[in-house]
Amino acid sequence: MKVRLARHAGFCMGVRRAMELALEQAHHAEGPVYTYGPLIHNPQVLELLKSKGIRALKEIPPAGSVQGGTVIIRAHGVPPQDKARLKQAGFSQIVEGTCPRVIRVQAIIARAAKRGADVVIVGDASHPEVVGLLGHARGRGRVVSRPSEVAELPELADVVVVAQTTQTGENFAAIVQELTHRFGPVEVHETICEATHRRQDEVKSLAREVDGVVVVGGRNSGNTQRLAQVAAESGKPVFAVETEEELPRAELAHLDTVGVTAGASAPNWLIKRVLRELGSIRSEREGDGSYLLRRVFRFFVRSQLLVALGAAGMTCAASILQGLVPHPALVATAFFYIYAMHILNHFLDKEAGQYNDPDRAQFLTKHRRFLIGSGIFSAAASLFLCMLIGPWPLAIVSFISLLGILYSVPVVPLSMRGRLKLASLKDIPGSKTVSAAGAWAVVVAVLPAVGFGIWNFPALILAFVYTAVLVFCRCAVFDVLDVQGDLVVGKETIPIMLGEAVTLRLVYWLLAALALLMILAPLAGPPVLLCLLLLLPIAGLAFMQRVLSRGDMLPGATSEALVDFIFWLAGALALAWWIL
């Protein structure tokens, strides 16, 4: 089955901000952590927060009854008097989790009420956001959900109109027209969130191009319900689900192409699970050959064979860049070592994998025995090959293998963990990306020089930097895609430390600097044509970075394969130059 994911599916800015604040408090706050009411409208996310020790307050405790603790204001916002009562209750910290766009609407209402204007809020009266907005109107607020309700309003003067941020544009425009017809000119603030506009416009376009639409999100989420309504207007079948377990596989099997969108409160990991389930459904229109080829391709990528072959290709490129003949034993060592480390570390870090890549997590569980066995065999094979090459390659690979095994193992003494806020090497902020780049560069670039005993230091440094930067940027791009899952488990990756936008800019500048280095490298000896050919993998990774960061490609096995293809490409280009 072909699956197309809407570009703007999942957490909006406000919901994402609230989740990040909540998870940060769960990992670092002292004392109990609460949210005032449900943080967002998604039961799976609320259950996740509960598992992290974050409890939801159904009502505000009496004044002075609480001894410390943190309470987080939900993304929908609350009336100002509720914040005052929370302070009086005795909470030591109140974290503002209200969406900034909701705060803007609250400010508009507060200013209008202060001057004595009557405020009309277009929205659902029972929705938490609207309840919070009314609290800023000083008793001068009215809620209208349909154009027909305008006739029921009392006589109003100096009317200011705002919208619940998740309203549809059509409904807001119709109500404004009725208000103008009845009260004359009114002051209109079109406060519908841009993300809501984009999602609704996008699902209209998506529905025209697919055979059916799956809408992911909580049943109590207003914006999710409206997405389903907009999709249904296309006449195509619409399937609204909270989790992948609710997908009607038999009905979906009749379709060839399915579009997927998600409400603003649906997390990435939940969307990925739905995508994984849809990808496993065989359409009645799909031939046997295509289905078999898709399964073989998935196995090849998910088993880490693809990235291991990429390491073998990079070893050829690094050797040739240093003026060395690609040695089969060194190429095989890189293949076995990278395969073993990727497989074993995926098992050691499986908690984050449940959120970041549910498809791989399921694959690892299904083929656990084979993968662990082949990983142990590959680690032994890499050491055996190094032993045949010489004592120094064996010592180097043994050392970095030990570091790789210890990466996820708690090695910090219990007495020091609280002070250092880490228990193992993986808890060091940004360590995963840096250690992966370093390990690749050592195996791919340093081992050939050690194995041959030929030290061309300028060329060695060039090969080391070329490999390390490409691997670092590859990992950083995937880390950006995995931010939500890493936040859930408390991992301090580079995008979490620096922010996603800064990380993507860092990747861009690193690739640009590497390209400049390759252009200038012939001045130090490496052949001009070889260096120019090796610019192509840099350009390919820069292109994939842009495609994935913009959401132009569905995350999964195909996008991962295209990113890892740059390592194959580097090896193929270097070998072609060497042979010809």
Q: What Å distances lie between residue 8 and 101, 172, 199, 224, 257, CA to CA?
A: 17, 22, 6, 13, 19
Of 42-51, 137-146, 235-244, where does mean pLDDT reach its minimum?
42-51
Q: Which residues of 515-545 are buried (b: 16+ CB within 10 A; e: fewer)?
A: bebbeebeeeebeeebbebbeebbebbbebb
**Is a pLDDT exceeding 80 seen at residue 422?**
no
Task: Give a yes or no: residue 4 inside a domain.
Answer: no
> How many structural domains compose the chain?
4
The answer on 379 and 269 residing in a single domain is no
CB 79 within 8 A of CB 110: no
Q: Mean pLDDT throughout 533-555?
A: 87
For 549, the token pair is: 């960061």
N residues, the chain:
580
**What was the pLDDT predicted at 271?**
87
**What was the pLDDT predicted at 412?**
56
Write the CATH number for 59: 3.40.50.11270
Last residue of a domain, one of 241, 268, 287: 287
**What was the pLDDT predicted at 198?**
83
**What was the pLDDT predicted at 488?**
72
The answer on 279 and 317 residing in a single domain is no
The answer on 144 and 250 residing in a single domain is no
Per-range mean pLDDT, top range of 96-105, 263-272, 488-497: 96-105
Three-state DSSP at 5 gives strand
Task: Give a yes or no: residue 474 inside a domain.
Answer: yes
Q: Mean pLDDT throughout 379-408?
A: 86
Helix, strand and coil in the chain, % to nearest 5: 65, 10, 30
The answer on 314 and 441 residing in a single domain is yes
The answer on 133 and 68 residing in a single domain is no
Q: What are phi and psi of 95, to 5 degrees?
A: -100, 125
Task: Give a yes or no: residue 21 inside a domain.
Answer: yes
Q: Mean pLDDT throughout 185-210?
A: 87
Beta-sheet pairing, 54-57 with 70-73:
unpaired
Last residue of a domain, one of 287, 320, 346: 287
**Is a pLDDT exceeding 70 seen at residue 351?**
no
Query: For 474-487, how does the pLDDT look when each residue is reduced to its tens digit (9 = 90+)?
Result: 989 888 887 777 77
Of 157-166, 288-297, 501-510, where does mean pLDDT reach its minimum?
288-297
**Is a pLDDT exceeding 90 seen at residue 528?**
yes
* pTM for this entry: 0.80
Q: Mean pLDDT throughout 431-436?
A: 84
The answer on 126 and 77 residing in a single domain is no
Last residue of a domain, one of 80, 98, 116: 98
The answer on 174 and 131 residing in a single domain is yes
Q: Which amino acid is at 342?
A: H
**Residues contacting residue 448 through CB under 8 Å, at least 6 positions apart:** 315, 318, 319, 322, 324, 327, 330
Task: Give a yes or no: residue 6 inside a domain.
Answer: no
Residue 64 pLDDT level (bands cut at 50, 70, 90): confident
Q: What are phi and psi of 212, to 5 degrees?
A: -165, 160
Q: Which one of the listed residues 30, 59, 96, 129 is annotated catalytic?
A: 129
The answer on 123 and 211 residing in a single domain is no
47 is catalytic: no
**What was the pLDDT predicted at 409?**
64
Q: Mean pLDDT throughout 456-473?
A: 94
Write the CATH number for 130: 3.40.1010.20
Mean pLDDT taken over the chain: 87
Residue 382 pLDDT level (bands cut at 50, 70, 90): very high
The answer on 175 and 137 residing in a single domain is yes
Domain residue limits at 210: 195-287
**What was the pLDDT predicted at 410?**
62
Distance of alpha carbon 354 from alpha carbon 310, whole angstroms: 25
Q: Mean pLDDT throughout 227-246?
A: 89
